Amino acid sequence: MDLHAIAFWSFSALAVISAFGVVFAKNIVYNILSLIAALIAVSGLFFNLGAELLGALQILIYAVAIVVFYVLVISTVPEYKGQSVDPKYMLISIPTGFAIFLELSYVSIYGAWASSTGIFTPEVMQDVGNIKAVSSMLFTKYLFPFEVASLILLVAMIGAILLGRKEQVMEENQ
C-alpha cells in the first residue's frame, strides 16, 4: 500500500458514504451537509490523481460558490416542509433515476474510458503544469464550446434578472 492507494480508498469511501447521506438523510440540512462532504471528497480524489487545478476549483466553485446558494434557500425552509415525503413522486423519480444511471454507465464504459488517453503525457504535465495544460486546450481546441457555454450562462443570468424584476414591480403595485 503506498500513499496514493490509501488516499484513493479513504476519499472514495468518504465520497460514497456522504452520497448515501445525501439520499437517505431525513433532515434537508443534513442532505446538503452530506453533499458538501461528497464534493470535498471528490476534490480529494482529483488531488490524488495529480489534477490540482480541478481539485481546487472543485472546492471553490462546487463546494462553496454553488452549494452556498442551496444552503441559503434550504436553511430558510421550515422544518416540517423539509421532512414530508410524498410517495407519489417515487413513481416518476425511480424510473428517471434508473434511466440516468443506465446512461451514465453507458457513457463511462464506452465514451470516457475508450478515450481516456489525452494528448498530454505525464512527462509533459510535469513540465508545463496543470493550469497551462488546461488553458491551452480550453482556448484552442475547445474554444467554441467554451464560448457557447458562456453565452448560455449569460442568457440564464439575464433571464434570472428579468424574473427577479417582475416580482418586485408586482409587489409595489399591490
Partner 1 sequence: MKELILISIGIGIKSLIFIIGMFLLAAYLTLIERKFAGHVQQRPGPLHVGFHGLLQPIADALKVLTKEDIVPNFVDKYLFYLASLMAFVPAIMILAVIPFGEPINIFGYEIKPYISDVNVGLILALAFGSISIYGVIFAGWASNSKYPMIGGLRKAAVLIGYEVALGFALVGPIMLAGTFSLREIVEAQQGFFGAFIWYQPLAFIVFLFSILAETGRTPFDVQEAEAELVAGYNTEYSGMKFGLFPLAEWYIATFVLSAIAVILFFGGWNGPHIFGPISPYIWFLAKLFLVFMFLLWVHWTLPRYRVDQITEIAWKVMLPLTFINIFITAIIVIIKG
Judged by the rule CB under 8 A, the positions of this chain that interact with partner 1 are 1-3, 27, 29-30, 33, 36, 40, 52-53, 55-57, 59-60, 63-65, 68-69, 71-72, 75-76, 129-131
Closest approach, Cβ 53 to partner 1, in A, equals 5
Closest approach, Cβ 91 to partner 1, in A, equals 32
Q: How far apart are CA 22 and CA 85, in angstroms?
A: 15
Closest approach, Cβ 38 to partner 1, in A, equals 14
DSSP 156: H
Residue 71: count other Cβ atoms within 10 Å of its Cβ.
15
Nearer to partner 1, 12 or 52 (CB): 52
Tracing cell 452549494 back to the chain, one arrives at: 67
DSSP 50: T
Total count of residues recorded for the chain: 174
Nearer to partner 1, 9 or 101 (CB): 9
Nearer to partner 1, 91 or 162 (CB): 162
Which residues does 136 contact at the CB level (< 8 Å), separation at least 6? 128
